[in-house]
Amino acid sequence: MNSTKAEKKAAAGSGDTRDRIKQVATEHYVLVGNDAFNFGDIADAIGITRANIHHHFGSKRKLVAELVRDLTENAEQRIRHHWARPGVAFAQRLDEQLDDLRTFYKRFHPKRGDRNVWSPLARIRLDLSALDSAAVNTLERINKVYDESLCLALNEAVASGELVADTPVDDLARLLRVTFLSSPPITQDSGSFAEIEQLFAALGRTIEAAWGGTKAARAQRIKAG
């Protein structure tokens, strides 16, 4: 039996409501975390009833689980884009990673001096004791995706001569991953993104000084001369 126009319109409206709930719920979850997450605040922000949210998502646990899945899938896509796509200089990748963090920082800091949790991955880590095993598995997958993607980027930088041949790729990938994932809490101490910017600048200078291909080429010319 074919759906009537009214049925199709109702279905479309239902989809729009569900998407809007998820959009607001995502912001709410990252800011307040699992313990303070509640349907009442979300319903008030959208102008619907809590019953409407229950209709679309069932329980709070189910909605949070769906948000966690979406947030980690999005994180994977961004990591692969910054670090695994070919033909990008390592320095540019580092800039893109910084821009990615800055985007989330601004998104969750409407007022100057706020010290909110703003990283979805940081929020999920803070909530692990209250979440199911799927959340633990997704964070482990994020670590793996970071390590694999960073190694691809570093090996490409070695192949292009941007980094020297004896760059400790696996060790450096681990250091970079831990640095990126540990950056968000810094702003809760300082109330500013500037500390992360300075950290990334220092990281770039350190990598260039230790393993930069340009430096190695100069040393080789001096030795040969």
Task: Tell me if residue 170 falls in helix, strand or coil.
Answer: helix
Start-end ranges of CATH 1.10.357.10 in the chain? 64-224
Q: What percent of the chain has pLDDT over 70?
A: 88
Grade residue 224 by pLDDT with cuts at 50, 70 and 90: very low
Q: Write down the pLDDT at residue 6.
A: 41
Residue with the two structure tokens 């702003």: 187
Average pLDDT over residues 48-70: 96
- Look at residue 63 and tell me whether its pLDDT is greater than 80: yes
2 against 50, higher pLDDT: 50
Average pLDDT over residues 10-34: 86
CATH topology for 64-224 is Tetracycline Repressor; domain 2 (1.10.357)
Q: Write down the pLDDT at residue 4.
A: 54
Q: In 3D, which of 1, 48, 45, 40 has the Cα closest to residue 24?
A: 45
Q: Write down the pLDDT at residue 114.
A: 85
The pLDDT tens digits of the residues spanning 147-190 come to 999 999 999 999 999 999 999 999 999 999 999 999 999 998 88
Residue with the two structure tokens 């990281």: 203
Task: Please tell me the distance from the alpha carbon of residue 131 to that of residue 138, in angstroms, as a whole number.
Answer: 11
Residue with the two structure tokens 């809760």: 188
188 against 89, higher pLDDT: 89
Start-end ranges of CATH 1.10.10 in the chain? 1-58
Q: Which residues pair with 212 in a beta bridge?
A: 163
The alpha carbon dihedral of 135, 136, 139, 144 has a sign of negative
1-58 placed in CATH 1.10.10: yes
The pLDDT tens digits of the residues spanning 106-153 come to 999 988 778 999 999 999 999 999 998 999 999 999 999 999 999 999
Q: The whole model's pTM is what?
A: 0.86
Task: Please tell me the distance from the alpha carbon of residue 190 to that of residue 186, in angstroms, as a whole number.
Answer: 7
